[in-house]
Structure 1
């Protein structure tokens, strides 16, 4: 279904609309306050204080000099209700995009346009994901399901002073609900389209006056719903079964010590990403005529298995004037994903074949048969030292893993005909110090500095050379080592107790990366360290008697030696490169208000304008049928990417939610709708007509009734209610193969809290 378009007479530029809303809201709300007599007669409904740990201390979000968006409570429950993985956050927060060519197992995060399109299990990302104070470095770890979470914080801009590894773009931070002495919990069950089932719950309470616990779990399932017209099998693909569990134990024998212990596990069994051959109409970025989302024609195997287990221990000693924190984390994951990469059946030299032109078969798998991550952090923090407070610490990171890359001969029954293996060991350590100083009641200054040392040892072996690839059999090895000093300084000026201006200057660092997919190449590529300098100004204010709040920030940044990945191309080979310079600028807006006592509205908007600036940088174009619009590079078959925007970096992101409640009987009938807009994106470093993703608009709707003071609730919900169908990613080495967004899901949900 094509997206609806506005008549020309009422179209507005997206950035103009967003800024107009931001500037008009205070005046509009003030007008509403003066004219809505009915609202005056009711007790005022106000927004609660949002507390965040962006500076590793609990603070009011309005007083923190960082661009932050928080999602929690009902809004978080609503936008994840359709059974989607962590990608449900994409476009729901300003400047955040998440995509994947690996299905549910391997999300790729982008903040302010900065990310990494690399699909290799060794890929480094500039967006750090922190779950319960532990960094999740490997991209597979970043896909852990979201359940029983207190809140999600998106911290934009470099966060390298206080947060772990590789965060020059920002941090996505998840915090699980902690155990408490009070007995309680919840249960939620829903059922929807394609047998989409979600069962989620938690229970916790006290074992003794000093020990409490909380157990939470999640089960998700979707039945296969895509027919394979080649094999004639109905409902053959796109299903999954996944469960995850978390057990937490909180031990607090005294006011001076507590230990929070966490063990968690995940298991996933389902379909890998479903690639579809020649679904893009040549010369356009439209789906071909007659495209059916619930049909595919492939002759290879398609599956995905994943097992993850981990734990952490967070210990706190309160010595009065200072507190000592110890955070120990361990993660291990084992996964294998196999897919029919050519997206069709057979090949032009082995007819019949299709859909469309299939020059050769491509069926491959990638797995992590061995993985281990260990982290340790010690942090010392001052407690109420008057005008000056500080914190400092030591951080250690140790990771070892093995990546298997396998190729199969589909025409010979799927027999193995290619095998390569990568092994990498990473050790890094850091020391950091930060502080803040109250110059007076209105002005606060903050600053921090961090020294990081990072070392990697890497080997790659091609054990079986697939057809049409170099015949090298053996081992290649390399290593990297680098250090850096990251820093940030900021100032917050409180105009009054409701309004704060802030300014921030921050430097970030990403350690060198290594790429060695020897299945179809003979070389190891490395990317040197990248650094980013970010500048940011903003205002955060509450108004309309605490019934509305707004945060608006503008930023620009410069990345030197940006790490990029030339993915695919005619040789189907991943290659790391450094762009001499990348520039970006834009704004972020978060708005939330009770427009009436019963109507809560949120609006988010962002502009991210990115540009690669390197006249010498060229990459290989697609290998099958696309129209590259970049100028030719110095080497035949390559194209200059100087001036291009970053891949998967939408210029515009908007999101809107509205909730209206009507008291009814002993409860409340409510209506909740949410909408997200993600602008046009390029799938690859080069610009092409076909591999340009169209703007994507998806909406959600929920109608529910709650009673017993909100402890019981039943609702019907819909995700992607406008049933938008569009290509969200591509495979470029063979033909015009792509994959599409999630289908419309409609379901029924019941929740109880106790």
Structure 2
């Protein structure tokens, strides 16, 4: 992430809009009052008036977290929000413990991610879009009415700066340790009567941040990213049209994981380097946002295309020679292509005592992937490794197609998804103080997947996998579902506060497992994972005074059929075993807790923020899964620390009439959390405390600002995701990073 930050103001609760209050929000802004308005409710609304949970990072806050590198850094700034960085690059947000920690890209995370209103349908798209942001809005709790499918945990909205007459032009050049060089720039303004444009770009390069003790340095991960976004706005006081186009590329090298059997120092890994591969990732998209008045109604339409191609990989086993045996080495690569067309149209109006919204949404997704796993150096023509992958012989089946050893596994899968939805969202002022909000959404999905799993023998012969003799690993299936979801809330305004109670539900789609296909069951109903559903009851109060902003909320979530990556050992022909894994469903889980957020401005220029969450999230498992029920029953949900807290202090003062000093610092604490649903201590991460800070001098006459920054100042080495294979492997956090920059506002 090229810019991120800590919430200048955060509130907690599940988001339910009250469009009838939008006029009051605009009136307060016009009066010059310092109001905080959010738009993730689909209409502008004072954050204190939202009868649910909203966390906000505004533009000023984003600047104060200079040096952040990806969407995962958002989790350090948002209480109750965690981010698992699967495969070192794929960000899966967990909110209140809800959401599968998964590294496949066939399905998105349970916390839906939107960029400028466009749904990011896979977990590999997020980091590429985080530059020239205006704000980030996070909604906690199921968002089944406004956001529909795959928002069972909440929604994360990334909002870039719109073109306008002011321009807000800037350029920034930075340098940091690990040879980090980054450049950000944006230029825009009026280009004609009622016409505006904005061009934003970013570039960052960084050497490896982890030390490889057994091979090439680049196994520690290299960063080489570029992005550009062009936006144009036509707005002459009636209908308006906003066009956006973006392109980002990643040409770095993926970091390697660390195997739990190794005894290594902080931020060290051990890789022989044969899994090191140059990444070739490109993300692109265009969108057209149209608004127009229609009598008492307003029409909104968002038409978009998003796509990417992705080629990357890494050392899968996380060690140069597992258990001292180089033949156990494993490397993998992903080759993915994705395209999504989407349309959302809404009609909304406000009337005396309420508001109403009617909408439809449609999307078409096309995804394909080749997953390859091998040992040693890979011949790109024959797909045979220089040694034999230990897991290949177990997939051969009862009648091998060759007398040569099985060497490599290749799985191809293609998936198409059609999603259609109709929704409504309405508010009604029952009394002057009491407001009812109710929303409903009907969603239809058709998911079609097909693929095959192949093993390659050393002589180049290829054959379909047939583990346990259950039939060749080729086939397809169709998942067709219709879901009804929604929410309802009552809110009561008194003084400067707002109390509310809400109930909301949502779901995350089921789907296909996109990695190693062992046999025919992979594409049969037994190999699919089902949809998960979440119903949350929440009550809270929030408000503000002249210097104080506060919120307190309690929540209870009933989590049915939680999707989880299950790790199961299976025997190899030589009598040993390795761990196979797939996305499956647990029986149920419960998540409940209390959240609090406090913001205080005791004097002008000094802001203090404190947020805390106590959350108990536990699995309830009666049936056997992966041959074991007791292993999961009563265990914590992954990435759900029982206690988390963050704090921030920001101070601004004038050194002279034209020079302004800025100082800020933040801290984030998470108690022990587990990396998968097994609840095993060796698959957990202990308490984590991270600190970040920034200092700046702004010379207002020239528009120049000089800053220095530091992140992870405690130099904490902690796991950001994990998986079982030969032992247990974890991807690691960045070490202490620091740097400085010079920027100019034009």
Normalised-by-shorter TM-score class:
0.7 to 0.9
Is 1:340 aligned with 2:315?
A: yes
Say if 1:642 and 1:234 are closer, same or farther in 2 by CA, change over 3 A: closer
Residues 1:277 and 2:259 are matched in the alignment: yes
Distance 1:278 1:162, change over 3 A: closer
- For the residues of structure 1 that align with 2:666 and 2:702, how far apart are their CA atoms? 21
Question: Per-residue deviation at 1:147?
Answer: 1.1
2:604 corresponds to 1:602: no
Residue-by-residue CA offset, 1:287-325 (whole Å, 9 max, x unaligned): x3x515255332422233210110111100112410111
Partner of 1:733: 725
What does residue 191 of structure 2 align with? 207
Encode CA deviations 1:150-177: one digit per residue, 9 max, x unaligned. Answer: 1101100011201143101100011111
List structure 1 segments (4+ residues) > 6 angstroms apart after TM superposition. 411-414, 466-469
Whole-Å separation in 1 of the counterparts to 2:651 and 2:354: 44
Deviation at 1:651, TM superposition (A): 1.8
Alignment partners' CA distance in 2, 1:278 and 1:741? 15
- Do the aligned partners of 1:94 and 1:605 also contact (CA within 8 Å) in 2? yes
User: Aligned equivalents of 2:160 and 2:579: distance in 1?
Assistant: 40
| Partner residue, 2:486 | 487
- Correspondence list, 1:641-680, <5 A: 641-665=632-656, 666-680=658-672
- Going from structure 1 to structure 2, the CA distance change for 1:292 and 1:279 (only over 3 Å counts) comes to farther
**Contact 1:327–1:378 under 8 Å retained in 2:** yes
Contact 2:220 / 2:255 at 8 angstroms: preserved in 1?
Answer: no
Indicate whether 1:310 and 2:285 are aligned: yes
Matched, 1:298 2:289: no
Q: Deviations over 1:547-602 (max 9, x none)?
A: 22112211111022222221465554333322222111012222211123232111
CA RMSD of aligned residues (A): 2.4
State how far apart, in whole Å, the 1-side matches of 2:618 and 2:626 are.
16
Contact 2:529 2:563 in 1 (8 A): yes
Q: Compared with structure 1, are the counterparts of its residues 425 and 409 closer, same or farther at alpha carbon in structure 2 (3 Å cutoff)?
A: same
Which residue is equivalent to 2:234? 251
Q: Distance in 2 between matches of 1:612 and 1:716?
A: 44
Contact 1:652/1:678 (CA < 8 Å) preserved in 2?
Answer: yes
Whole-Å separation in 2 of the counterparts to 1:698 and 1:225: 17
Measure how far apart 1:403 and its partner are: 1.1
In structure 2, distance between residues paired with 1:147 and 1:108: 19
Indicate how the Cα distance of structure 1 residues 411 and 345 shifts in structure 2: closer, same or farther if over 3 A, else same. farther
> Does the 8 Å CA contact 1:117/1:567 hold for their aligned counterparts?
no
Contact 1:374 1:397 (8 Å CA) reproduced: yes
TM-score computed with the length of structure 2 as normaliser: 0.86
Describe the SS at the equivalent of 2:169. strand
- Are residues 1:371 and 2:343 paired? no
The answer to whether structure 1 residue 122 and structure 2 residue 106 are counterparts is: yes
Structure 2: distance between partners of 1:499 and 1:710: 42
Structure 1 counterpart of 2:139, from 155, 172, 179: 155
5+ residue gaps, structure 1, are: 1-21, 23-45, 281-287, 621-632
Provide closer, same or farther for how the CA distance between residues 698 and 521 of structure 1 changes in structure 2, counting only shifts above 3 A: farther
Tell whether 2:598 aligns with 1:591. yes
Pair 1:113-2:97 in alignment? yes
Equivalent residue runs for 1:60-209 within 5 Å: 60-79=46-65, 81-104=66-89, 106-209=90-193
Match for 2:512 among 497, 510, 514? 514
Output the CA distance in 1 between the equivalents of 2:338 and 2:44.
Answer: 33
Match of 1:403 among 369, 380, 383: 369
How far 1:225 sits from its partner (Å)? 4.8
> What 5-or-longer segments of structure 2 have no aligned partner?
1-11, 13-31, 386-407, 459-463, 571-577
Aligned counterparts of 1:208 and 1:293: Cα–Cα separation in 2:
53
Note the 1:414-425 alignment, pairs <5 A: 415-416=384-385, 417-425=408-416
Q: What displacement does 1:364 show?
A: 0.9
Preserved contact between residue 344 and residue 358 of structure 1 (Cα < 8 Å): no
Between 1:609-618 and 1:326-335, the stretch displaced more is: 609-618
Look up the match of 1:33.
Answer: none
**Structure 2 Cα separation of the partners of residues 330 and 120 of structure 1:** 22
What is the CA–CA distance in structure 2 between the aligned matches of 1:183 and 1:55, rounded to whole Å? 26
Correspondence 1:545-624 to 2 at 5 A: 546-567=546-567, 569=569, 571-619=578-626
Say yes or no: does 1:456 pair with 2:447. Answer: yes
Do residues 260 (structure 1) and 242 (structure 2) align?
Answer: yes
Distance 1:567 1:268, change over 3 A: farther
